[in-house]
Amino acid sequence: MKPPPFAYECPTEVADAVALLAAHGADARPLAGGQSLVPLLNFRLARPAVLVDLNRIAALGRIAVEDGTLSIGAMARQAAVEADSAVARCWPLLTEAIGHIAHPQIRNRGTIGGSLAHNDPAAELPAVMLALDAEMSAEGPQGTRTVPAGEFFAGTMETALEPDELLTEIRVPALQEGNGWSFLEAARRQGDFALVAVAVLLRPSGGADGIDARVVVTGTGEGPMRMCETEAILAARGTDGDACEAAGDAAAQASEPADDPHAPAWYRRKLVAALTRRACREAATRMGR
């Protein structure tokens, strides 16, 4: 398969890229790592009139920790973030999740921002950013605005980005010591998109036994979903006794999978329950509970 014809632009500054998107509107598509867009072009599922290549904008590739906050440029390669020692030390949930993305060759080209802006309903990174309470910076003709992860992911392959806006940076807040985390995924084959993936982050809260929980499931709907009832169970009961089993049951009940050629809905619900239980136990162990 070959892509349809398109004009090609290769800016070196963010402002120039934004100007091109504003000039062409919905007819333009930004190109990051190309691991999602290029197949869509080749199958002619995407037909942009103009392709705006972001790969020469050096400012978008930075990875830095500033005042305890992790700042990731939208063009930072997934493999670079995975290999970053500061990320592994302070945000291990992110490192662990990136290891589940496809294969090393894909992660060498794929970008953090590209995956988030594409928002495939089974992708790992949107779920993790939701669990970590990340914020996205979007730059457009009217300036820069910040969008919380909870408002950024709008639906299947849809985000809060306007056609003339560019995702430029992702900011992940600092985590205090004593956290527990886990990212678990079930796929048909190594490197496939997840049938179900679960991200769990447990943080100390209040007294000695208090827990603030984030539980996010992906692969069962239009995108990542926070399991609020599951979080409430863990906050109220901790992880002792049968709390993790109850948390898994609540997550399965709240998930909304549909039958598709890869797995029936009932099977995905069972995966949600099983993976949530395992992830909660693993996070609790890492937390020292």
Q: Cα-flanking dihedrals φ and ψ of residue 180, to 5°?
A: -125, 145
Domains 63-170 and 180-287 share a fold: no
Bridge partner list, 225: 217
Please give the mean pLDDT across all residues of the chain.
95
The more confidently predicted of residues 288 and 108 is 108
Architecture of domain 180-287: 2-Layer Sandwich (3.30)
Class in CATH terms, 63-170:
alpha beta
Give the predicted TM-score (pTM) of the model: 0.95
**How far does CA 171 lie from the centroid of its chain?**
13
pLDDT score of 247: 98
Architecture of domain 7-53: 2-Layer Sandwich (3.30)
pLDDT score of 207: 61
Average pLDDT over residues 14-34: 96
Average pLDDT over residues 126-144: 97
Residue in 46, 38, 55, 51 with CA at minimum distance from that of residue 6: 51
Asked whether residue 61 carries a pLDDT value surpassing 80, the answer given is yes
- Tell me how far apart the alpha carbons of residues 281 and 248 are, in angstroms, rounded to a whole number: 11
- Tell me how far apart the alpha carbons of residues 39 and 109 are, in angstroms, rounded to a whole number: 14
Q: Cα-flanking dihedrals φ and ψ of residue 181, to 5°?
A: -145, 160
How confident is the model over 245-268, as pLDDT tens digits?
Answer: 999 999 999 998 999 999 999 999
pLDDT score of 108: 97
List the structure tokens of 36.
């999602």
**Every domain of the chain and the residues it spans:** 7-53, 63-170, 180-287
